[in-house]
């Protein structure tokens, strides 16, 4: 079967959902290196996104921990699960989904290790 784009329509939605789940955590993980290299205030963008959801530095610690755990660890793992399910379902081509699954898992592992070392 011939696809005009990288993947078919339904597969594109699946791939987009997997990427959307991991994107905020990946942005936050890359914010300090990007900000130091370019001067673009990425850390303020991440902080303002959480502030829009009502989570600031003045929020109780348990609230911040819950939001960060969900956004930085659970969401990338959800994206990984979505992408892995597409690979298991033998979606063609399979490599974009394998790449998305690897990226989501890597971001979740990064934030898990970061949290453990920060404790």
| 91-119 tens-digit pLDDT | 888 888 888 899 999 999 998 998 888 75
Residue 86 in any domain: the answer is yes
Nearest CA to 83 out of 61, 64, 99 is that of: 99
Name the residue among 86, 77, 90 with its Cα closest to residue 11.
86
pLDDT tens per residue, range 9-65? 778 888 888 888 888 888 888 888 888 899 888 888 888 888 998 888 889 989 888
| CA–CA separation, 37 and 71 (whole Å) | 25
**Per the structure, how many domains does the chain have?**
1
Quick check: is 83 in a domain? Answer: yes
Q: Is residue 2 part of a domain?
A: no
- What range defines the domain where residue 111 resides? 10-118
Whether residue 2 is predicted with pLDDT greater than 70 in this model: the reply is no
Q: Specify burial of residue 104 (Cβ count, 10 A radius: 0-12, 13-18, 19+).
A: buried
What's this model's pTM, rounded to 2 decimal places?
Answer: 0.74
Query: Would you say residue 4 lies in a domain?
Result: no
Whether 3 is covered by a domain: the verdict is: no
Q: Is 100 a member of any domain?
A: yes
């Amino acid at each position: 079967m011939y696809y005009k784009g990288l993947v078919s329509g339904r597969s594109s939605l699946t791939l987009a959902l997997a990427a959307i789940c991991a994107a905020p955590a990946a942005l936050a993980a890359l914010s300090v290196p990007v900000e130091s290299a370019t001067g673009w205030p990425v850390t303020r963008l991440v902080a303002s996104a959480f502030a829009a959801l009502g989570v600031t530095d003045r929020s109780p610690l348990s609230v911040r921990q819950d939001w960060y755990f969900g956004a930085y660890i659970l969401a990338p793992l959800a994206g990984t699960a979505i992408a892995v399910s597409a690979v298991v379902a033998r979606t063609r081509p399979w490599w974009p989904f394998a790449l998305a699954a690897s990226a989501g898992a890597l971001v979740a592992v990064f934030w898990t290790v970061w949290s453990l070392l920060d404790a």
